[in-house]
Amino acid sequence: MTLQSTPPTVRIVEVGPRDGLQNIREPISTPIKLELIRRLEETGLDTIELTSVVSPKAIPQLADCREVLGSPQVKHLVSKSHLRLPVLVPNVKGLNIAIQHGVKEIAVFISATEGFSKANINCTVEQAIERARHVASLALKSNLSVRGYVSCIFADPYDGPTSPASVLHCVRKLLDAGCYEVSLGDTLGIGSPANVRSLIKYLVREGIALDKIAGHFHDTYGQAVANVWEAYNCGLRVFDSSVAGLGGCPFAPGASGNVASEDLVYMFHNAGISTGVDLPKLVETGIWISETISKPHSSRVGTALSIKSKAATSAAASMIKKSSKDAPLQWNMFSETEGLQLFRSGVNLKLVLNRPKNGNALTASMISDLTSAITAASQHPQTSRIIITAAGKFFCTGMDLGKESTPVAQGDATSKAQFERLTSLFEALDQSPKVTIACMNGPAFGGGVGLAFACDIRLAVRNAAVTLSEAKLGLCPATISKYVIREWGISFAREAMLSARPVTTDELKTKGLVSDVADTPEQLGTRLDELLAQLKVASPDASRMSKELVRLAWAHAGTEKQAHGIRRLFEEMMGANADGAD
Ligand SMILES: CC(C)(COP(=O)([O-])OP(=O)([O-])OC[C@H]1O[C@@H](n2cnc3c(N)ncnc32)[C@H](O)[C@@H]1OP(=O)([O-])[O-])[C@@H](O)C(=O)NCCC(=O)NCCSC(=O)C[C@@](C)(O)CC(=O)[O-]
């Protein structure tokens, strides 16, 4: 039971999407819940309780459990073998719904005390044990894993203090029923380290193995982090927690949220104990969910670290602002063809897709005009940056599939011509020595996504989700795959292609695929101005050489070609007439 005799790792069971949300009255939409789950998984958490399948009258907030469990995103996560994604179920009905939705792990829950058992699941402790045993045996027969909870380990909101013998009785029954682990719930958040130590020692003395129990501490009395630490030092290695400290049970009046996941991760990491969780990402997720659902953020670590990072960000932003002129850039239109307008502001060229009524879908003539404009600008010494944006609500909905425009299913000659047109456009953009920027004023689909991701940098307005929608039309993202897969990475691109789902700007931002997200189109304009001001630090030659270095790295990493290329650029930049000489 000493620190030295056990490996320095713990497993965190993130209960935010279930325990964290169940007590919130205001409805939270299913997409927000799914986004929370997505973000949590991205932090490296490998155990996330997804939801509960309980009576919607008891817990209205989680009445959308079928939508959550049935979503392609959750189905995809459930298929990942390294993740544990338990779903709380109280009875056979809940189990059957979970099984229908492909769930691989459930959690059964009982209380060590009569008052809470009656209020929470409308039965006595013995009836609850019998129900949990029955549910667990059916689940095990269907090859599901079963986790268990025992609530009210220290006190019950209706009955007062809990006898340790009742806790022992419940833990034994759940382990006998086949639970691989039982989480000890201080539902009221009333216990303190002395209680924790005494209960764990008692359970161990009575024959309960330490690796069969986990800690689930609420923070009503501010003792939760200390309780976890004490439990760790008693030998526990699994702890339940909730991002931003959300949580609580409607049938435990006055009890507050779970111990915050951020606080646990910070504490364990500072002690050299690994959790596998990326703390900055977790902090970002905690801030995001509490802002999104307008609930107080209860993680002290989350608050402290986000203030620190905000300070750093605003310092950086003010540096950028200082360098930008306060007045917005003036753009002058100098050319207009069908569906495309060209503007200039100094060394910046802006290409505006202008078929708003058709979602800025690309006709054959627009593709050709865009290619010509980009090719000309790439050779024009007075152009340093090429921006692509669009009029109206959409950035670009891809190829125009209308009959008069760029039809599919027309056979060989049409297909070849369209292939050449699209390839030339994306290559012109990709090979341009100028800095290319997609300024995404709205959602993009198919070829529109290719346009954005063949650019060097992307800015987006918040609703500008991108969808590789081809699969829905019986197509595949052929010409754009080169750029999308390169920028997104293979697994993510494959999943987005196969699911044809909208990928949100927040998701893109988290992955570093868009550099900035603006809340409104006006703000997007300002962000573009700021970016263009920031880019002035690089001379045109330095930008071109940097782009070439990046290209050498992704196309020829580790080869002679890369080595020669680097040497050639090195010599060029050191030359007597190079920009560097100035
Ligand atoms: C257990 C029951 C169902 C008994 O509730 P009941 O009223 O005795 O049972 P019922 O069988 O008469 O069902 C009532 C209604 O619920 C429906 N129903 C019944 N079961 C389900 C189901 N699985 N999924 C969906 N619907 C269900 C059922 O169909 C019926 O609908 P109606 O005919 O009235 O329209 C109810 O009391 C209940 O759902 N309780 C759950 C309460 C809950 O989720 N509490 C929070 C979780 S526990 C907790 O937070 C503690 C923990 C785990 O985090 C650890 C800790 O901190 O201590």
Closest protein CA for atom 24 of ligand 1? 54
* Ligand 1: nearest atom to the Cα of 185: 58
Q: Which 3 state secondary structure label does DSSP give 353? A: strand
ipTM score assigned to the predicted complex: 0.97
Residue type, 99: I
Asked if residue 414 has its Cβ within 6 Å of ligand 1, the reply is no
What is the Cα–Cα distance from 532 to 463, expressed in whole angstroms?
A: 22
pLDDT at 147: 98
Q: Give the tokens for residue 185.
A: 């719930």
| CA 89 to centroid of ligand 1, rounded, Å | 8
Catalytic residues: 249
Running DSSP on this structure, what letter comes out for residue 339? T
The alpha carbon dihedral of 376, 382, 385, 390 has a sign of negative
DSSP state for residue 501 in the 8-state scheme: P
* Ligand 1 near 22 CB (within 6 A): yes
List the helix and strand counts (H, then E) for the chain: 22, 20
The alpha carbon of 579 and the centre of ligand 1 are apart by a number of angstroms equal to 71
* Residue 256 CB less than 6 A away from ligand 1: no
For residue 162 and ligand 1, the question of a CB distance below 6 A is answered with no
Q: Is the CB–ligand 1 distance for residue 266 below 6 Å?
A: no
The verdict on the CB of residue 16 being under 6 Å from ligand 1 is no
C-alpha–C-alpha distance, residues 93 and 102, integer Å: 15
Residue with CA at minimum distance from ligand 1 atom 51 = 151
| Smallest CA separation from ligand 1 atom 18, residue | 55
Is the CB of residue 185 below 6 angstroms from any atom belonging to ligand 1?
yes
Alpha carbon dihedral 227, 229, 233, 234, in 10-degree steps, equals: 20
The Å distance, Cα 166 to ligand 1 centre, comes to 23
> What strands lie across the sheet with 145-151, from one edge to the other?
47-48, 11-14, 238-241, 213-217, 181-186, 145-151, 105-111, 87-88
Phi and psi at residue 355, in whole multiples of 5°? -130, 60
Report the residue among 21, 50, 53, 54 best suited for mutation to probe ligand 1: largest number of ligand atoms under 8 A from its CB: 54
- What is the position in ligand 1's atom list of the atom closest to the CA of 109? 53
CB atoms within 10 A of CB 209: 11
pLDDT for the residue numbered 3: 43
Q: Is 124 in the pocket of ligand 1 (CB under 6 A)?
A: no
Which residue lies with its CA nearest to atom 28 of ligand 1?
Answer: 55
Query: Which residue lies with its CA nearest to atom 45 of ligand 1?
Result: 120
The answer to whether the CB of 453 is under 6 A from ligand 1 is no
Distance 147 CA to ligand 1 centre (A): 18
| CA nearest ligand 1 atom 8, residue | 122
Q: How far apart are CA 486 and CA 490, in angstroms?
A: 8
Ligand 1 neighbourhood includes 189 CB (under 6 angstroms): no
Q: Is the CB of 54 under 6 A from ligand 1?
A: yes
* Residue identifier of the C-alpha nearest atom 21 of ligand 1: 55
User: Which pair of structure tokens corresponds to residue 355?
Assistant: 């078929």
Residue nearest to atom 27 of ligand 1 (CA): 55
AA identity, residue 61:
Q
pLDDT on residue 580: 66
Ligand 1 neighbour 59 (Cβ under 6 A): yes
The residue type at 263: D
CA distances from 554 to 93, 511, 573 (A): 52, 18, 21
- Please report, in tens digits, the pLDDT of each residue of the chain (582 residues total): 444 455 589 999 999 999 999 999 899 999 999 999 999 999 999 999 999 999 999 999 999 999 999 999 999 999 999 999 999 999 999 999 999 999 999 999 999 999 999 999 999 999 999 999 999 999 999 999 999 999 999 999 999 999 999 999 999 999 999 999 999 999 999 999 999 999 999 999 999 999 999 999 999 999 999 999 999 999 999 999 999 999 878 888 888 899 999 999 999 999 999 999 999 999 999 999 998 988 889 999 999 998 887 766 666 566 555 554 467 888 988 888 999 999 999 899 999 999 999 999 999 999 999 999 999 999 988 889 999 999 999 999 999 877 555 555 566 667 788 889 999 999 999 999 999 999 999 999 999 999 999 999 999 999 999 999 988 888 899 999 999 999 999 999 999 999 999 999 999 999 999 999 999 999 999 999 999 999 988 888 899 999 999 999 988 989 999 999 999 999 888 876 666 665
- DSSP letter string, 450-462: HHHHTSSEEEEET
pLDDT at residue 4, as a whole number: 47
Ligand 1 centre distance from Cα of residue 65 (Å): 13
Q: Where on the phi/psi map is residue 19: left (φ > 0), alpha (ψ -120 to 50), or beta?
A: alpha
| Ligand 1 atom nearest 57 alpha carbon | 16
CB 71 within 8 A of CB 34: yes
The ligand 1 atom nearest the CA atom of 89? 23
β 502-503/213-217 pair status: unpaired
CA 182 to ligand 1 center in whole angstroms: 20
For the Cβ of 151 lying below 6 angstroms from any atom of ligand 1, the answer is yes
What per-residue confidence (pLDDT) applies to 452?
97
- Per DSSP, the three-state class of 463 is coil
Distance 117 CA to ligand 1 centre (A): 11
> Distance from CA of residue 16 to its chain's centroid?
14
Say which CATH architecture domain 332-535 belongs to: Alpha-Beta Complex (3.90)
Q: Which pLDDT belongs to residue 1?
A: 43
**Span 11-311: which CATH code?**
3.20.20.70
Ligand 1 pocket test, pick from 55, 181, 199, 258 with the greatest ligand atom count within 8 Å of Cβ, gives 55
